[in-house]
Amino acid sequence: MGALTQRTTIYLKPELYKALRLKSVETSQSVSEIVNNAVRLALAEDAEDLAAFDAREKEPEISFEKFIKDLKSDGRI
């Protein structure tokens, strides 16, 4: 591991840990690399979601009730 890593303890269900170990062997990656990549991907998805929220922040709001009424009046439901 590199000098700029942080050691931590996580608790996994036995079947998840077994799957990680098997994937580790099959991909020639350490369990730490697999977990780091998974966390990185999850955080990237969160960042994309937050960016989408920011981009749509100024869109007009519509209530669910009005949306359904509009769909009905347009003949779509």
Please tell me what DSSP assigns to residue 19. Answer: H
Give 3-43 pLDDT, tens digit per residue.
Answer: 789 999 999 999 999 999 999 999 999 999 999 999 999 99
pLDDT at 2: 60
> Mean pLDDT across the stretch 49-68?
92
In a domain, 7, yes or no: no
Range of the domain at 45: 14-73
Q: Is residue 3 part of a domain?
A: no
Within a domain: 5: no
Residue that is written with structure tokens 């942080």 in the block: 6
User: How far apart are alpha carbons 7 and 55 in whole angstroms?
Assistant: 36
d(CA 29, CA 24): 5
- Is the pLDDT assigned to residue 1 strictly greater than 90? no
Number of domains in the chain: 1
Kindly state whether residue 9 falls inside one of the protein's structural domains. no
**pTM across the whole model:** 0.66
Is 2 within a domain?
no
Q: What is the pLDDT of residue 48?
A: 94
